Amino acid sequence: MWSKSSGLTPRSRARRSNSALGSFGSRSVSFDICFYYTTFISVASTDLQLAASDSLLTGSALVLIRVQPANHAPVVDAGQNQTITNAATTQLSGSVQDDGIGALIFSWSMVSGPAAVAFSAPNQLATSATFTKSGSYLLRLTANDTFLSDAADVTITITVPNPGNQPPVVNAGADQTVIAPSATLALTGTASDDGLPAGSSLTYQWSKLSGPAAAD
């Protein structure tokens, strides 16, 4: 006979599967038992006792049944959509609900947008996002508990302030070594500009700043 020694009480069904009579009159009986809990539990254990009686003597043994909950995916909220004017940075604050099973990690990423986004703390729920171009950005907060994951998106519409005219960005190329007394070099430089002021054109000029001989 099966009985509960301690712990939560499950509903159960027992089925006698086989029996045999040995040469010295010994008997062997095995049972399959199936049980389930009717209410939600987080973590629990149940001691079951199997007792056998020959009408004069009784023997018994205990078995410990540990019950653990099923893992569920985190539930993620990336926060409210935002419209930002005349700023390049905004604060993001997400939230995650989880059942505590597994190690929970977070990550912010950009799904779409006109330019790259820099997150100050991409693996934290609260972070700042910095933008270089105006437009609409779709950002995503993902949570993973090692086994399951969930994600939520937030839309940031931002107007980045115009920094005004900036100087061209110039690169004169790599340093070079020549053999005296004379040599001809090919120099290749690059320059990029923001196009301001409007209607202007970009001009280039090489000049010698120092050295023992003339350069043409």
Output the DSSP codes for 67-129: E-PPP---EEE----EEEES-SEEEEE-EEE--S-S--EEEEEEEE-SS-EEESSTTSSEEEE
On the question of pLDDT at 44 being above 50, the answer is yes
| Both structure tokens of 112 | 């779409």
Task: Give the separation between CA 166 and CA 33, rounded to whole angstroms.
Answer: 79
Quick: pLDDT tens for 96-113: 999 888 899 999 999 999
Task: Tell me what pLDDT residue 14 has.
Answer: 46
Quick: pLDDT tens for 169-216: 999 999 988 877 767 888 899 998 878 888 888 898 988 888 777 777
| Both structure tokens of 66 | 């540990």
Task: Give the separation between CA 41 and CA 67, rounded to whole angstroms.
Answer: 8
Quick: pLDDT tens for 89-99: 999 999 999 98
Quick: pLDDT tens for 134-160: 999 999 999 999 999 999 999 999 999
Residues in a beta bridge with 170: 191
Q: Which domains does the chain have, with CATH numbers?
A: 2-67 (no CATH), 75-159 (2.60.40.10)
Burial 169-193 (b: 16+ CB within 10 A, else e): eeeeeeeeeeeeeeeeeeeeeeeee
pLDDT level of residue 17 (50, 70, 90 thresholds): very low
